[in-house]
Amino acid sequence: MVDTQIIESSGQVFYKDPNAVLDFVIDWDGAAADGGPWLATGETISTTTWTVATGITKDSDSKTTTTATIWLSGGTAGTDYTVACKITTSDSRTDERTLLIQVRDR
């Protein structure tokens, strides 16, 4: 079973077991809860920068022209962590999405 978490707006809360290694995908071109795709027609993601709170581990990250993905592991059960992704686009626009990862024994 694939357990990919698709993020379409900032402020979403996700749960992760401390022993799990999970990917979280921000779809900047998806039908976001806040009114539709963020990327303009023909606009693409040029760069991504992930900021991860101390205590949870970023194993890797990647991007496509419309998505940003981070793989997370670790964390302490009962602790909440913020993870932020800042992008720069082909049109030189920047934006950031912050996720709340709640680590819980599952």
Q: What is the pTM of this model?
A: 0.86
What is the chain's pLDDT, residue by residue, as a tens digit (106 residues)?
455 565 555 567 899 999 999 999 999 987 555 566 789 999 999 999 999 999 999 999 999 999 999 999 999 999 999 999 999 999 999 999 999 999 999 8
Residue count of the chain: 106
pLDDT given at position 1: 43
**Amino acid making up residue 92:** S
The Cα–Cα gap between 39 and 19 comes to: 34
Domains parsed from the chain with CATH numbers: 5-103 (2.60.40.2020)
pLDDT given at position 5: 61
Determine whether 97 is exposed, middle or buried from the number of CB atoms within 10 Å of its CB (0-12, 13-18, 19+). buried
Q: What's the half-sphere exposure (Cβ side, CA atoms, 13 Å) at 52? A: 19
**Amino acid making up residue 14:** F
